[in-house]
C-alpha cells in the first residue's frame, strides 16, 4: 500500500465563528493547521458562514479525489454545516470528511451511526489524533488504520465503524507550533490560549463530559507562559494585534496557578509589550489579589465572569457556588482597577419557576446588566452525558434515546408556563425586534468596554468622556427601566394564563415603539463617543472593540 501523498493531498479545515465578542479565528483549527503543515501536509483553512464556504462548494481547491475535509461544527450551526458537508461528499467534490471539536466529540457515536457519509470523528487531542490517522492513509484515500488512536472512523469498504482507541499520550502544548492565522479580521483583537481544560464541573459545560474519553486524563494542560508571551509578541509585531482574548475556560483556577500567571505578567512587563487582554474567571474561588494586580499592570482590561444565576436552586442545578453579593464586591474591585466585566449568565433552566425568572430579571437590573438580552433569551444548553443531561433523564424531563441533533434543547420545563414565556420572549426579541434588539445589546456592551479601553490607552479620556458617558449611561438606564417594566408585566401575564400576550406586537405596540426609539438613540450616542475617542488620539482603543 502506497502511503498518502502529502504534497498532492489537500487538507481543508472548515470552521465557523463561535462568538461575536471574540475574533473570527479558531485557535484549535489554527493549531491543527500549523501542526499538519509541520508534518508536511498541504493545508488550507475555510470559514463557514452558515450557508457555505465563502461563495460555494467549489471553492475547495484541488482534485476532489485528493481532498480531505476536517470540519468543526458547533452547537449553534451544526445542522447547516452537516448539510453542507454531506452535499460536498455526495456530489464528489471532496473525497473524505472528518469532524472535530466538542460537539463532534461528545456526539461521535450517534453521528457515526446516523451519518453514513461521515468518515470519522477525532475524539482525543485533535493534533495528535488527526495526524496519526492521516499518516496511516493510503495514496488513494480509501484505506487507513480504522483503529487509529484518538479517532472513531468508518471503513469505506464495509461501512463498519471501528471503536474508539484512546491515545496513549498527548502532545504537550509546549511542543505544538503557534496556531496558523490564515483567517483573521482587520481589528486589533485576536484569540489565544494559555491552557486547555478545566478543573471544575459545571453541569452545563462540555469540558467535564469530554474528560471521560481518551487515555489522557489530565484536567488541565498548561502552556509555558514564556511561550504564550512569545506568541503574543509575534502577533503584535507581524499582524499588529494589540488585544488578546484568552479562550482558556478558566484562566486562574486556584492558588496553584499563582506562580505561572505571575510569570506570564512579569514576562509581558520585562519585554515592555504594550498589549491588552481578556480572561475568563469564576466568582468562587476568586483570583488572588496580588495576581490580579499583576495582570492589570500587564494589560488586563476585561474579565468574562461566571455569575450564571441569582436563584439558589438554579445554581444547584448548574453545580455552581456563587454568593449573593459576589458580583457586587468583585465589581467594586474591578471598577477601582479599570477592568470591564462581561458576565456569564443563564436565566432559564428546566426547573425554573416564574418567580425565579422574576428574581433574575430584578437582579440583572440591579447590577446594571439587564441590557444583556441574550442571557435571558438563550436557555441552558444540555451537553450529552453531562450531569444535567443525566438529571433531566432521571426526572423524566428528557427522553434517554434522543439523537445528537435533539439533545441540546430537547427537554421539557417542569412548569409549562415558563417554557411558554421563554417562547414569547423569543417571539418578541428574535422576531418582532430582531435587528433592533441585537444592536441595542451590542452598543450597550461595547459602550462599557470602549470606556475602559480608552482610559487605559490615555487617562485623559476619564475627564474628556465624562459628560458623554453621563448621557450614554443615563439613556441605557432608561432603556433598562423600560425592559424591566416589560419583563415584569410579561411574567404577570404568564401567571394569569395570558402568556400569549407577551410576544404579541399589537398588545406591546407602545413598548416596541419606545424600545426602537431608545435603541436608536443609544446607537447614536455610542457612535459619537467612538468618533470623539478616535479624533482625540484613541484610534487604537476604537479598533480594539469587537465588531457588531
Res 186: pLDDT:
84
Domain presence at residue 163: no
pLDDT for 131-190, tens place per residue?
A: 999 999 999 999 999 999 999 999 999 999 999 999 988 999 999 999 999 999 888 999
Residue owning grid cell 457556588: 321
pLDDT band per the 50, 70, 90 thresholds, residue 211: low
Pair 418, 353: CB distance under 8 Å: yes
Task: Say how far apart CA 487 and CA 499 lie, in whole Å.
Answer: 12
Q: Using DSSP, state whether 503 is helix, strand or coil.
A: coil
Res 534: pLDDT:
98
pLDDT band per the 50, 70, 90 thresholds, residue 486: very high
Q: What is the DSSP string of 13-24?
A: EEEE---TTS-S
Pair 442, 496: CB distance under 8 Å: no
Pair 225, 194: CB distance under 8 Å: yes
- In this predicted structure, the answer to whether residue 4 has a pLDDT above a threshold of 90 is no
Task: Give 440's strand partners.
Answer: none
- How would you label 520-536 residue by residue, b for 16+ Cβ within 10 Å and e otherwise? ebbbebbeebbebbeee
Res 65: pLDDT:
58
Instruction: Tell me how many helices (H) and strands (E) the chain has.
Output: 20, 13
- In this predicted structure, the answer to whether residue 215 has a pLDDT above a threshold of 60 is no
Res 19: pLDDT:
82
Domain presence at residue 33: yes
Task: Give 196's strand partners.
Answer: 221
Domain presence at residue 14: yes
**pTM score of the predicted model:** 0.94
Res 399: pLDDT:
97
- Which of 103, 120, 148 corresponds to the end of one domain? 148
Res 217: pLDDT:
46
Tell me the residue length of the chain: 548
CATH number at residue 84: 3.40.50
pLDDT band per the 50, 70, 90 thresholds, residue 201: confident
Pair 204, 380: CB distance under 8 Å: yes
Domain presence at residue 447: yes
Res 264: pLDDT:
98
pLDDT for 352-400, tens place per residue?
A: 999 999 999 999 999 999 999 999 999 999 999 899 999 999 999 999 9
In 115-161, which residue ranges form alpha helices assigned H by DSSP? 126-135
Query: What is the pLDDT averaged over residues 303-318?
Result: 94
Res 342: pLDDT:
96
- Between the alpha carbon of residue 362 and those of residues 296, 331, 343, 467, 499, the distances in Å are 31, 18, 16, 28, 19
- Which of 96, 127, 148 corresponds to the end of one domain? 148
Q: Give CB contacts under 8 A, 24+ apart, made by 233-240.
A: 233/271, 233/273, 234/178, 235/181, 235/190, 235/192, 236/273, 236/275, 239/181, 239/184, 239/190, 240/188
Res 216: pLDDT:
42
Task: Say how far apart CA 545 and CA 40 lie, in whole Å.
Answer: 37
Angle, nearest 10°, between helix axes 258-271 and 289-298? 20
- In this predicted structure, the answer to whether residue 58 has a pLDDT above a threshold of 60 is no
Domain presence at residue 58: yes
Domain presence at residue 237: no
For residue 163, what is the DSSP state?
A: P
Domain presence at residue 255: no
Cell of 278: 481578556
Nearest to 194 by CA among 172, 169, 173: 173
- Which of 101, 129, 148 corresponds to the end of one domain? 148
Domain presence at residue 117: yes
Task: Say how far apart CA 177 and CA 32 lie, in whole Å.
Answer: 9
Structural domain range at position 46: 10-148
Cell of 30: 489554527
Based on the structure, what is the number of domains in the chain? Answer: 2
- Between the alpha carbon of residue 154 and those of residues 85, 119, 146, 157, 508, the distances in Å are 16, 5, 7, 9, 54
Amino acid at each position: 500500500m502506497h502511503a498518502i501523498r502529502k504534497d498532492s493531498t489537500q487538507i481543508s479545515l472548515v470552521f465557523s465563528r463561535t462568538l461575536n465578542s471574540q475574533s473570527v479565528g479558531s485557535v484549535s483549527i489554527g493549531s491543527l493547521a500549523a501542526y499538519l503543515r509541520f508534518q508536511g501536509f498541504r493545508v488550507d483553512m475555510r470559514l463557514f458562514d452558515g450557508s457555505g464556504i465563502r461563495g460555494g462548494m467549489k471553492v475547495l481547491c484541488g482534485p476532489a479525489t485528493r481532498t480531505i475535509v476536517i470540519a468543526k461544527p458547533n452547537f449553534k450551526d451544526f445542522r447547516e454545516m452537516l448539510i453542507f458537508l454531506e452535499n460536498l461528499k455526495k456530489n464528489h467534490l471532496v473525497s473524505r470528511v472528518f469532524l472535530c471539536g466538542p460537539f463532534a466529540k461528545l456526539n461521535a457515536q450517534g453521528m457515526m451511526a446516523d451519518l453514513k457519509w461521515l468518515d470519522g470523528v477525532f475524539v482525543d487531542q485533535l493534533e495528535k489524533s488527526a495526524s496519526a490517522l492521516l499518516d496511516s492513509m493510503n495514496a488513494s484515500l480509501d484505506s487507513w488504520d480504522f483503529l487509529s488512536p484518538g479517532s472513531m472512523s468508518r471503513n469505506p469498504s464495509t461501512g463498519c465503524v471501528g471503536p474508539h482507541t484512546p491515545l496513549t499520550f498527548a502532545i504537550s502544548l509546549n511542543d505544538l507550533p503557534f496556531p496558523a492565522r490564515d483567517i483573521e479580521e482587520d481589528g486589533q483583537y485576536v484569540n489565544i490560549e494559555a491552557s486547555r481544560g478545566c478543573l471544575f464541573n459545571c453541569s452545563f459545560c462540555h469540558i467535564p463530559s469530554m474528560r471521560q474519553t481518551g487515555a489522557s486524563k489530565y484536567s488541565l494542560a498548561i502552556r509555558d507562559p514564556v511561550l504564550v508571551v512569545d506568541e503574543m509578541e509575534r502577533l503584535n509585531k507581524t499582524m499588529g494585534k494589540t488585544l488578546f482574548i484568552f479562550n482558556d475556560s478558566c484562566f486562574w483556577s486556584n492558588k496553584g496557578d499563582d506562580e505561572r500567571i505571575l510569570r506570564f505578567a512579569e514576562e509581558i512587563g520585562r519585554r515592555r509589550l504594550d498589549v491588552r487582554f481578556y480572561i475568563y474567571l469564576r466568582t468562587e474561588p476568586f483570583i488572588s489579589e496580588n495576581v490580579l494586580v499583576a495582570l492589570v499592570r500587564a494589560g488586563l482590561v476585561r474579565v468574562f465572569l461566571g455569575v450564571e444565576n441569582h436563584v439558589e436552586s438554579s445554581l444547584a442545578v448548574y453545580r455552581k457556588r456563587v454568593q449573593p453579593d459576589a458580583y457586587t464586591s468583585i465589581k467594586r474591585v474591578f471598577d477601582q482597577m479599570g477592568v470591564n466585566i462581561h458576565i456569564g449568565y443563564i436565566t432559564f433552566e428546566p426547573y425554573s419557576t416564574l418567580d425565579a425568572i422574576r428574581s433574575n430579571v430584578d437582579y440583572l437590573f440591579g447590577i446594571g446588566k439587564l441590557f444583556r438580552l441574550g442571557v435571558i433569551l438563550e436557555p441552558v444548553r444540555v451537553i450529552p452525558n453531562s450531569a444535567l443531561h443525566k438529571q433531566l433523564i432521571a426526572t423524566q424531563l428528557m427522553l434517554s434515546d434522543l439523537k445528537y441533533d435533539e439533545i441540546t434543547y430537547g427537554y421539557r420545563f417542569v412548569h409549562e408556563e415558563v417554557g411558554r414565556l421563554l417562547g414569547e420572549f423569543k417571539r418578541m426579541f428574535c422576531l418582532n425586534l430582531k435587528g433592533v434588539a441585537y444592536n441595542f445589546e451590542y452598543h450597550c456592551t461595547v459602550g462599557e468596554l470602549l470606556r475602559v479601553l480608552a482610559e487605559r490607552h490615555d487617562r485623559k479620556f476619564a475627564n474628556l468622556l465624562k459628560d458623554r458617558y453621563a448621557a450614554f449611561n443615563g439613556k441605557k438606564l432608561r432603556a433598562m427601566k423600560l425592559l424591566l417594566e416589560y419583563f415584569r408585566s410579561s411574567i404577570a401575564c404568564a401567571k394569569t394564563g395570558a402568556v400569549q400576550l407577551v410576544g404579541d406586537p399589537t398588545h406591546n405596540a407602545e413598548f416596541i415603539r419606545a424600545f426602537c426609539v431608545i435603541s436608536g438613540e443609544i446607537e447614536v450616542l455610542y457612535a459619537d463617543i467612538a468618533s470623539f475617542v478616535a479624533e482625540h488620539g484613541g484610534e487604537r482603543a476604537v479598533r480594539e472593540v469587537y465588531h457588531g
